[in-house]
Amino acid sequence: MKITLFEQAPYRYLPDDFEQHHQSVCTTPYSVTNRDGVYSSIRDFMDELMLGARTGFDGIAVTEHGQSSYDMVPNPDLVASALAYQTEAEGLDVAIFPMGRSLGKAREPVRVAEEYAFIDVLSGGRLVAGFPIGLHYDASVNNGVPPIEIRPRFDENLELLLRAWRDQEPFVHNGRFSQYPSVNIWPRPLQPTPPVWITGIGNPRTMQMCLERNFGFNYLSWFGAKLTGKRIFDRFWEIADQVGVPRNPYRLGFLQTIAVSETDERAEQEYAAHLEYGFRKGLGSIPPEMLGLPGGIDIRGVQALVKDPGDFGLYYQMKSASFRELVDAGVVICGSPATVREQLREYCSQYGIGTLHAMLGFGSLPRDLAMKNIQLFAEEVAPHLRDLWSDSEHRHHWWPERLGGDPTPVTPGATATEGAPTRTTTQKTAVTV
């Protein structure tokens, strides 16, 4: 089992009645912040991530949210590059895992290729490259991309990026969404095959693409793993069977919010209010229509969700969810080290999860408590999980070679867009300048 520390950078000092008056994305008035609060929220977030690197996590994972009060990271590569440099300087063998430069949002895909390549060089070959398709509100409201173009744009940008890493000669890109007379990035990644991961919420098409194309698939269990996990993970492995790829647990990443303290009682006492803050004022305050803009979800997917919104688990109640409801739904796992490791071990073994992303900083959690959570998890939980798949035959093909992985190349396969025409212009047409 590989275990990463995942964190977002929420603004930690929102008013108590924030969620009664504001949304957490796009329209949140910046006047609710103050200068010191912004500085400490971001500075502590960086320090917590470095603590993760120093306490032996296998990877450090962050992601991207534009114009958001619950994650003030507009570009994960800013964070990842700082971590790449510092961990290299300290000799820490930890994967740098930006889960997302959203390629459905990106208007400068070659720049994304350049940034990731630079991080791989800075880290000495420790990049794990995450590419979410793109949150609707972020790609479309924050960045002006028509919702129905998010997936086609992702497809084109991903092909261009992979080619920009791979091709030895400059080439011309004549695409639907971008055109470049010469693509010839410097530097290229140190790794011959940087592992590629896609983050999704359960769309079968996205899963099929990951399985056919040798990408890792991350499921972020914001909506309550106990409500959604069986649906999502069973679906993933059934599609794996259909596609004909082995049920290798390492290709499945699972993100879980976790709070550890000395005892179950103390964990609730210390973390409950901060967890409620995190989900009520964060995810719970994203309006539903911003997560599902017309055109962004395939028409058959809309029909399925209208009839059965189960993939969204606790989301519709999250704005007022209590600590107990969050725990009961599996949105969070909170308790003593024994409680937490028992639940995680059972969960990961049951669903075939080989890459765990532990979210240990959240909501209004102050620096000291976040540090405690990370330290306790690293010392008393993670060591008891690492052996989970050690007696299996599977190898981790989605992890950097320097860190014990055995990365294998991306393969051809399904795109993210249902029903999209193939474009002859995106075929390989390398030219020598």
- The site for other proteins (CB under 8 A) is made up of 140-141, 144-149, 152, 176, 287-290, 293-297, 299-300, 302-303, 306-307, 417-421
Rounded least distance, CB 424 to other proteins, Å: 13
Q: How far is the CB of 176 from other proteins (least distance, A)?
A: 6
Cβ(207)–Cβ(228) under 8 Å? Answer: no
Pairwise CA distance, residues 210 & 204, whole Å: 10
Six-digit token pair at 15? 């008013």
Rg of the Cα atoms in the chain? 20
Nearer to other proteins, 166 or 176 (CB): 176
Residue 208 beta carbon to other proteins: minimum distance, rounded to whole angstroms: 16
Minimum distance from residue 310 beta carbon to other proteins (Å): 14
Burial of residue 246 (CB within 10 Å: 0-12, 13-18, 19+) is exposed
Give the bridge partners for 68, in sequence order: 25
Name the minimum Å distance from CB 396 to other proteins: 36
Biggest distance spanned by C-alpha atoms of the chain: 67
CB 425 → other proteins: shortest distance, Å? Answer: 12
Q: How far apart are CA 58 and CA 95, in angstroms?
A: 6
C-beta of 114 vs 149, nearer to other proteins:
149
Rounded distance between C-alpha atoms, residue 316 and residue 312, angstroms: 8
Helix axes 367-380, 337-351, angle to 10 degrees: 60
Helix, strand, coil distribution of the chain in percent, nearest 5: 45, 15, 40
**Closest of 319, 268, 326, 362 to residue 17, by C-alpha:** 319
- The residue among 66 and 407 lying less far from other proteins, judged by its C-beta, is 66
Q: Which is closer to other proteins, CB of 276 or CB of 298?
A: 298
Q: Residue 291 in contact with residue 137, Cβ under 8 Å? A: yes
What are the tokens at 256? 């879980």
Residue 181 C-beta: closest distance to other proteins, Å: 20
Whichever of 176 and 367 has its CB closer to other proteins, that residue is 176
Residue (42 or 291) nearer to other proteins, CB: 291
Decide whether 412 or 419 has the Cβ nearer to other proteins. Answer: 419
